[in-house]
Chains A and B, each alone.
Chain A
Amino acid sequence: MLGTMFEDRRGEKRLFRGRAILLAVLVVLSLALIAARLFQLQVVRHEHFTTLSDDNRIKIQPMPPTRGLIYDRNGVLLADNVPSYALTIEPEKVEDIDATIAELSELVPISELDLERFERLLPQRRRFEGVPIRLDLNQAERARFAVQGHRFPGVEIAAELSRYYPEGAYTSHLVGYVGRINEQELEQIDRSDYAGSNHIGKVGVEKYHEQWLHGHVGYQQAVVNARGRVLEQREQKTPVPGRDLHLFLDMDLQRDAAAALGDRRGAVVAIDPETGGVLAMVSSPRYDPNPFVGGIGYKAYAELRDDIDRPLYDRAVRGQYPPGSTVKPFIALAGLATGVTTASQGKYCGGYFQLPGHSHRYRCWRRGGHGSLAMEDAIVQSCDVYFYRLAHDMGIDRLDDLLAEFNFGRPTGVDIAGELGGLLPSPEWKQRVRNRPWFPGETLIVGIGQGAFLATPLQLAAATAAIANGGMFIQPRIVSATRASLGAPLEPTQAQRRPIPDQDPAHWQTIIDAMTNVVEGRRGTAGRIRTNAYRIAGKTGTSQVFTVGQNETYNEAEVAERMRDHALFVGFAPIEEPRIAVAVIVENGGHGGATAAPIARAVMDSWLLDQRVQAPSDADDGNSP
């Protein structure tokens, strides 16, 4: 018994030792497995993990450039950058956005408008970009969030420079505004250059000169910890700020033009005939561009969009109107340039004109007719029959050729986004668009600026400037000079000049004399704006409104009002050495001489005599037709 037990115990011990050795081998093998794994991680894939580790801690932070400022010709600030603080939510870092917003609203007031903007911006944003839930935090709100902010991971106060337009509605169409970058725009821009930018020019100069104004993004490398806190700044590339823009615009003149136009629908464009610089450009009614910067609410936007007076619509460069009689000086010049007629050659007006072999009567505005008229009188009295005859004699092709030299029928190329080019009707155009042949009668209608013929107020002003300076078409410009930064030299923009291919001074003088008599002459249609201070040359126009548009729901009085003719006036002054060329259109304003010409006079007074115009509310009387 003892013996077997002894044997058994010895056997047990031997057995145990065997097993212990086996376990030791197992241990060594297991540790070798771990070591092999470590070899794989630390030697074979070392480079890979080094990269990942650097990616973790080194963040490339874009530094957005400061947007260039916009000044008028006297240094009045039109577009400024002001510091603003927004509360932003980065959805990637927030588990329950709704709950977070609910909790945030106990700290800072969050309105329906804020929520709506947030919902709208959410799908448009880029990845890992904060979406603003509240804009323009005041100091108290910032302080409250600073204390409680740790409770809201993924919610941050973003300090940025926000665009502000000190002149508000006065520059709404011209300067335009910036807004948050949307998906469509994201497709078109150089994304890396906009890495830190939230805003982009949407309208007007802000959009057209986006490249100048935006500047170029900078970068800085920073070492961050797991919570994203910057621990150490590494190398950096400073951003290149956007260029400051100096405009030809004169803010006093702009305000006066707006005041002169009052609350009527229409546009005023004033151009310096020597430079092509736009001195004033007003489209009425106007709107305040500032709410668009942060993101205007849907309701507020819908109100602007659906307003029957269409305040968002820039009539100065997008409004296309039949130029009516304002086109007659250009037709007359075409007659002289082509040699079809001379200044003294008389044409008979019996109240109407008939094409040979046709019975249709093309009527003059004066039923009884003007009798026999030379060119100057035809312009002064705006005789339609004279211009029917002239147009008929020239033919549409020659007529169009010269009108095109004055840049009718295509955009002037002014540096404002969204400019339209009007329409200069031609047989090719009609065949292409309407698939119909050209009728000789249509040539006559072009001759008095009606029919399909359309021009923008800017086109009319630019063409008038070409008469004022004696035959040089200068592409209108908004920006006169740019500057890399404060203190850097101003770099002027270059005018594009194109001489009208008729440089006979006598021809130009004939037209200018005729236009002078429109204002100065006994029978002139704009005699009421005559002044002793300086002499004005001009031409009135009245153009028919053909369609009412989608205005079915408006009451009769209003429809009747909107059926009235548009009133136009183009002119320049002083005639000896023109310093300003003006085009005015008042929608449904009635007769050009009565409604549009006084507005042009007010603008000229402002510019030439430094005479301020009364505030719009006071100017309301006296504009009844």
Chain B
Amino acid sequence: MSKQTHVDIEAGHDSLDRGWLNRLHIDLPLLLLLLLLSAFGLLMLYSATGQSAGQVERQAIRLGLALVLMIGIAQLSPAVLRQWSVPLYLIGLALLAAVLLFGDQSKGAQRWLDLGFLRFQPSEVLKLALPMMLAWYLSLRTLPPRLLDIVVVGLLIGLPVFLIFKQPDLGTALLVGSAGVATLFLSGLRWRLILSLVVLAGVAAPLLWSLMHDYQRQRVLTFLDPGSDPLGAGYHIIQSQIAIGSGGIHGKGWLQGTQSQLEFLPERSTDFIFAVIGEELGLSGIIVLMLLYLAVILRGLSIAAQAQDAYSRLLAGSITMVFFVYLFVNMGMVTGVLPVVGVPLPLISYGGTSLVTLMFGFGILMSVQTRRKLLQAE
């Protein structure tokens, strides 16, 4: 408790502006941004589902529930979360192992665990459990971390990433791994260590290639040359680039995208919804969306930077980075600068799984942000 005695002057000043929202542990700027993004997403989803009011309604309900979950999580103090860190991580690992042993096969990959009343992907849990675990571990050390700490952190990251990679789920492995790396980076890892890790990664890449499944390699190869398989794996990339490119600066207009409305664009309401936005709203619409996303990320980093203890800082920072990686991988994939890995566009793609994870994360951010003056009061 001794490390929480430090008083943050800025935070104290801040607290004057907040009334009931603060008591509900809600961060207004973040909430507004999320609501804006969600509304934008529902609007685009209406177009991307071929104007299916039913699907939009289902997604709206999911969003509502996820927002409730977020506010619920925000009620938990970082201290409670901190206590959950180790058990959650261990449970997550156990579930991942269980998936590999008993998981449901779907599209050639074992990702789902069926608990009878609930089917879910344990890899989702790790998107938050790993940052929590790392934040817990690193907050106990003096920072920047020493070599031994890095080895331990490397193992903590490597184990779940490996298990997820084996499912195989390249996209989630990438997300979880980069969440871990981001946490390590935020902890103040020394530059020469960063440099040597980069070199190490360069050496490990061929090894990774050899571990990949054929279809994963195919995806990478197709990414490098989509024209080589225009009707097969390259079809997604080509059609999504056509959609975006034909949108131009101003777009073809909402509901007017020929690529999306005539279904030339595959997975238009899920992983490739970004291309629908590009086609119908054009570059101008996309820039607005990207600015919204950027605002969320900057707000998240700012919450992290203002947090009072190392655990909150690291956790808030790495959750924000998970959000960013989601975004970047999806946009990169749809625009053809990254290979096709199944990652949805956060808060906009149709589906509930990532929504739960993301809102859980934003709940943590709000918890961190709104707990500062409580500490001050102690």
Q: Are A and B associated in one complex? A: yes
Q: Please indicate the chain A residues that have their CB under 8 angstroms from the CB of B317 in the complex.
A: 16, 19-20, 23
B35 on interface, CB distance cutoff 8 Å: no
Which residues in window 237-257 of B have CB below 8 A to A?
A: 239, 241-249
A27 near B324 with CB under 8 A, answer yes
B182 on interface, CB distance cutoff 8 Å: yes
Q: Please indicate the chain B residues that have their CB under 8 angstroms from the CB of A16 in the complex.
A: 143, 186-188, 304-305, 310, 313-314, 317
Which of B246, B262, B298, B332 has its CB near the most chain A CB atoms (within 10 A)? B246
Q: Please indicate the chain B residues that have their CB under 8 angstroms from the CB of A224 in the complex.
A: 262
Q: Nearest chain-B residue to A53 (Cβ)?
A: B246
Q: Please indicate the chain A residues that have their CB under 8 angstroms from the CB of B249 in the complex.
A: 42-43, 46
Q: Nearest chain-B residue to A50 (Cβ)?
A: B246
A34 on interface, CB distance cutoff 8 Å: yes
Q: Please indicate the chain B residues that have their CB under 8 angstroms from the CB of A50 in the complex.
A: 245-246, 248
A41 on interface, CB distance cutoff 8 Å: yes
B245 near A46 with CB under 8 A, answer yes
B141 to chain A, nearest CB (A): 10
A28 on interface, CB distance cutoff 8 Å: yes
Separation of A69 and B332 alpha carbons in the complex (Å): 61
Which residues in window 27-46 of A have CB below 8 A to B?
A: 27-28, 30-31, 33-35, 37-39, 41-43, 45-46
Contact A53/B287 with A20-B317, A41-B335, A42-B249 known, Cβ cut-off 8 Å: no
B301 near A34 with CB under 8 A, answer no
B283 near A12 with CB under 8 A, answer no
B262 near A223 with CB under 8 A, answer yes
Please tell me which stretch of B85-93, B289-297, B363-371 contacts chain A, meaning at least 4 of its Cβ atoms lie within 8 angstroms of it. Answer: B289-297
B207 to chain A, nearest CB (A): 26
In this complex, how many residues of chain B approach chain A with their Cβ under 8 Å: the count is: 51
Q: Please indicate the chain A residues that have their CB under 8 angstroms from the CB of B321 in the complex.
A: 23
B278 near A42 with CB under 8 A, answer yes
Q: Nearest chain-B residue to A26 (Cβ)?
A: B324
Q: Nearest chain-A residue to B238 (Cβ)?
A: A52
Separation of A20 and B304 alpha carbons in the complex (Å): 8
B342 on interface, CB distance cutoff 8 Å: no
Contact A49/B278 with A20-B301, A43-B283 known, Cβ cut-off 8 Å: no
B282 on interface, CB distance cutoff 8 Å: yes
B13 on interface, CB distance cutoff 8 Å: no
Which of B3, B245, B293 has its CB near the most chain A CB atoms (within 10 A)? B245
Q: Nearest chain-B residue to A92 (Cβ)?
A: B231
Separation of A8 and B2 alpha carbons in the complex (Å): 13
A34 near B332 with CB under 8 A, answer yes
B248 near A57 with CB under 8 A, answer no
B144 near A227 with CB under 8 A, answer no
Interface of A, secondary structure class, is helix
Q: Which of B239, B242, B244, B264 contacts A38 (CB 8 A)?
A: B244
Separation of A15 and B184 alpha carbons in the complex (Å): 12
B142 on interface, CB distance cutoff 8 Å: yes
Q: Nearest chain-B residue to A46 (Cβ)?
A: B248
A497 on interface, CB distance cutoff 8 Å: no
Q: Nearest chain-A residue to B287 (Cβ)?
A: A35
A433 on interface, CB distance cutoff 8 Å: no
B248 near A13 with CB under 8 A, answer no
Q: Which of B186, B264, B297, B335 contacts A226 (CB 8 A)?
A: B264
Which residues in window 309-334 of B have CB below 8 A to A?
A: 310, 313-314, 317, 321, 324, 328, 331-332
Q: Please indicate the chain A residues that have their CB under 8 angstroms from the CB of B305 in the complex.
A: 16-17, 20-21
Q: Please indicate the chain B residues that have their CB under 8 angstroms from the CB of A56 in the complex.
A: 239, 242, 258-259, 262, 264
Q: Nearest chain-A residue to B257 (Cβ)?
A: A53
B24 on interface, CB distance cutoff 8 Å: no
B263 on interface, CB distance cutoff 8 Å: yes
B123 to chain A, nearest CB (A): 23
B165 on interface, CB distance cutoff 8 Å: no
Contact A48/B185 with A16-B305, A53-B259 known, Cβ cut-off 8 Å: no
Separation of A520 and B301 alpha carbons in the complex (Å): 122
B148 to chain A, nearest CB (A): 18
Q: Which of B142, B186, B239, B246 contacts A23 (CB 8 A)?
A: B186
Which B residues have a C-beta under 8 Å from some C-beta of A? 2-3, 6, 142-144, 182, 185-188, 239, 241-249, 258-259, 262-264, 278, 282-283, 286-287, 290, 293-294, 297-298, 301, 304-305, 310, 313-314, 317, 321, 324, 328, 331-332, 335-337
Given contact pairs A34-B337, A53-B246, enumerate 14 new A-B contacts (beta carbons under 8 Å).
Answer: A5-B2, A5-B3, A15-B144, A16-B310, A16-B317, A24-B298, A34-B328, A41-B245, A43-B283, A49-B245, A50-B246, A50-B248, A53-B242, A53-B258
**Sampled A-B contacts (12; CB under 8 Å):** A5-B3, A18-B188, A21-B305, A27-B294, A34-B331, A34-B332, A46-B246, A49-B242, A52-B246, A53-B246, A56-B264, A224-B262
Which A residues have a C-beta under 8 Å from some C-beta of B? 2, 5-6, 8-9, 12-13, 15-24, 27-28, 30-31, 33-35, 37-39, 41-43, 45-46, 48-50, 52-54, 56-57, 223-227, 231
Q: Which 4 A-B pairs have the closest CB atoms?
A: A49-B245, A53-B246, A15-B188, A225-B262
